Structure 1
Amino acid sequence: MLDYDLILDAATRLKKRVRRTELIHAHHFSERLGLPLYLKCENLQRTGAFKIRGAMNFMAAQPRSALAGGVITASAGNHAQGVAFSADLLGVKSTVYMPETTPPQKVFSTRDYGAEVVLEGKNFDEACSAALTRSKETGALFVHPFDDPLVMAGQGTIGLELLEDLPDLANVLVPIGGGGLIAGIAMAIKETHPHVRVIGVESAAAPSMQTAIKKGKVVTVPIRASLADGIAVKTAGSETYPVVRDLVDEIVLVEEEEIALAIVSLLERNKLMVEGAGAVGVAALLNRKVAKISGKTVALLSGGNIDVKTIAVVVERGMLAAGRYLKLKVELDDVPGALARLSTEIAEARANISIITHDRRSESLPIGKTEVLVELETRGPDHIREVISHLESKGYKLIQ
């Protein structure tokens, strides 16, 4: 069972083995939100995420005989790298089961740390089931990604660091997947600072912990694909659930577009590369999901391991959500100069053409007409309205 002493022991065990990550003041977001906001940068942690804390604490606490057969785990990526790195540091063989949909960057990184990687299952839960089966067959020690007191205690060391760096902390927003991270942090903070508000944030695509709290028991929920793949868990932990139920003040949900916009905002404003799961706390704040919040607030950036292809998709979605990108279909007369005149009017509206496509072959078009798809970079929602108003005033028929 998780308790405060386990977290203190973990802090001693992890000293000099993991990075004490930076707590930075986010000036832009603070001004925008009207409260002092700080970012706890676990995206800068060794292996790129907080997961190394729990994995290292679990393995370092084991007698050497328990590690003789190696370790095995399941993960969508960050826990995998934490286990692989820790095992390599301790001289232990590691095997990691990952869902078949895991971004390649996370697979390659895990292998680079020396682990055997097995891709199996459509999601974390299926990969976990396969890993547990192999653990029983081989005798390798299973390292649970979240549902273990030693793992939770390792994650809880983040809470101790927050209180040391910001003694007058009022609120902390923590991503929730299976619940190990927020359980450890809540235990670490509430033991000595019970007034601090601990707020969990889940993707609306996978609200397993919020559903468990509402129903009064752990349940399995259907999940959808999410940018926050690191917290897309069908079933909250049976060990983490009672801690979250007793110590976490509130759980809120964020949508995919909100997550995308938060990733882009962190990249633009703070020069921080954060994965979807790591951005949910900022997403919740930017979209006012937490009511009546004031005082010094921390959003935990839990990880930064984002695939390059995903970055491209996220930037586009984030720009769309921020009103920085506009797609229009425009019907034109199919005569020389029509496209040039459209380009001139777009320039008059001070928008930048990113992509333009010409289509004369649509059966829905009248003879003598052509359809143009234009993708424009804009300065925001107000500018979008100006662009549309300008083009319509010039007689263009627009379809958004």
Structure 2
Amino acid sequence: MPSFSDIVAARDLITPRLRQTPVLRLDHCRGADLSNPVHLKLECLQVSGSFKIRGATHRAMTLPEGAAPGGLVAASGGNHGLATAYVARDAGLPATIFLPETASPIKAEKLRRLGAEVVQTGRFWDEAHAAATTHAERIGAFYVHPFADPVIVAGQGTVALEMAEQIPDADTYIVAIGGGGLIAGMSTVLRELKPNARIIGVEPVGSPTLHSSLDAGHVVRLPEVTTRVATMACGRTHEDIYATVRDLVDDVVLIEDDAMQTAAELLWFEFGLAADLSAAASLAALMTGAVTLPPEAVVAGLVCGAGTDGMGA
């Protein structure tokens, strides 16, 4: 996994191609009993609609010459695929994105508008991943892994560098987990800059990938994945991600899909933020009491990806 200096170098490289997304303090927020100051960095306003563009941009900018004669291939719940398709289009490369059948139809359509070929297969990410890697090998494409790649993780970690500057008094960080690349990169930065910070990961009850691995003391493959949140549905993490989370993250908590739905609806109703369910995970963990806070804690989280999940409320 990347070092702190690797992540700083990644930021220097990719910043010109990204937006510095704003931070929202959740003041005057009806429907959520938030007694602590809570700040959310709005990566839903990032290029491609999520933080995933950070890792994808870093990966695209550091590809060796001739590494992708067949273009780029990715397996994704939606956001990583959009980021990969975006950077492929900018590089003039074809992109093929494998999505599980549970992925958002709107995100599939956005992928097609970016010029990507979309293949939907499997019930969750791991099955799409297996099909994608086979396809990439067959056509000579470069497979852009969403988390088992130190270059990708370094890109994702750059969001924590910005958060540390934008929310200097934050001491508690709540981070959604799919495969774990985001929290691995962020925790590497935060342990360097804020060694006493509390770092908490959030997973769905129906996809407790890292939670189960930490309980077991080693990486496990979940016997089933039942969450409907495609961007957080991962049956097995990578050993290096597991080791980083084990060593640097304080806790991983579990929340129900419906809690993320409620939080996404609140973000839309109160703030006009079109967030997908994973983007509402930080807020959902607070609203449900899955994360409890001392009175003096100052919280930082992410609205990590755009989506229409909360807009039907």
* Bucket of the pairwise TM-score, normalised by the shorter protein: over 0.9
Which structure is richer in relative contact order (CA contacts within 8 A, separation 6 or more)? 2
- Residues 78 and 103, structure 2, Cα contact 8 Å, conserved in 1: yes
1:69-95: per-residue Cα shift (whole Å, max 9, x none)? 311111111100000001111222211
Unaligned runs of 5+ in 1: 316-400
User: Hey, what's the Cα distance between the residues in 1 that align with 2:240 and 2:173?
Assistant: 22
Worse overlay, 285-294 or 221-230? 221-230
Q: CA deviation at 1:311?
A: 4.5
Per the alignment, residue 46 of structure 2 pairs with 45
Letter of the aligned partner of 1:10 in structure 2? Answer: A
Q: CA deviation at 1:32?
A: 2.9
The residue correspondences of 1:382-393 to structure 2 (distance < 5 A) are none
Q: How many angstroms apart in 2 are the aligned matches of 1:277 and 1:216?
A: 26
CA–CA distance in structure 1, aligned partners of residues 75 and 306 of structure 2: 19
Alignment of 1:244-323 (within 5 A): 244-293=245-294, 294-306=296-308, 311-312=311-312, 315=313
Q: Partner residue of 1:203? A: 204
SS of 1:66's equivalent in the other structure is: coil
Instruction: Using the TM superposition, give the Cα deviation of residue 226 of structure 1 relative to its aligned residue in structure 2, in angstroms.
Output: 3.0
Whole-Å separation in 2 of the counterparts to 1:292 and 1:123: 33
Alpha-carbon distance between aligned partners in 2 of 1:289 and 1:96, rounded to the nearest angstrom: 34
Tell me the CA shift for residue 154 of structure 1: 0.6
What is the correspondence of 1:185-204 to structure 2 with a 5 Å cutoff? 185-204=186-205
**What is the identity, as a one-letter code, of the residue corresponding to 2:27?**
H
Q: Judging by fraction of residues, say which structure has more strand.
A: 1
TM-score by length of 1: 0.75
Once the two structures are TM-superposed, the CA of residue 29 in structure 1 deviates from its matched residue by: 4.7
The alignment status of 1:229 with 2:233, answered yes or no, reads no
Give the greater-gyration-radius structure (CA). Answer: 1
TM-aligned CA deviation for residue 230 of structure 1: 0.7
Counterpart residue identity of residue 69, structure 2? A
Unpaired runs of at least 5, structure 2:
none
Aligned counterpart, 1:386: none
Amino acid at match of 1:23: V
Cα RMSD of the aligned pairs, angstroms, is 1.7
Residues in 2 aligned to 1:305 and 1:227: alpha-carbon distance in whole angstroms: 14
Q: What are the equivalent positions in structure 2 for 1:349-368 lying under 5 Å apart?
A: none
**What secondary structure sits across from 1:28 in the alignment?**
coil
Which residue of structure 1 lines up, in the alignment, with residue 159 of structure 2?
158
Could you tell me whether the CA contact under 8 Å between 1:183 and 1:243 is conserved in 2?
yes
| CA distance, structure 1, for counterparts of residue 279 and residue 233 of structure 2 | 12
Q: Is 1:77–2:73 an aligned residue pair?
A: no
For the 8 Å contact 2:69–2:140, the answer to whether it is kept is no
Displacement of 1:256 after TM fit? Answer: 2.3
Q: State the shift of 1:296 in Å.
A: 1.6
**Which amino acid in structure 2 is aligned with residue 186 of structure 1?**
S
Residue in 1 aligned with 2:106? Answer: 105
Q: CA deviation at 1:227?
A: 4.3
Range that drifts further, 232-241 or 127-136: 232-241
CA contact (8 A) 2:102 2:228 kept: no
The question of 1:130 aligning with 2:122 is answered: no
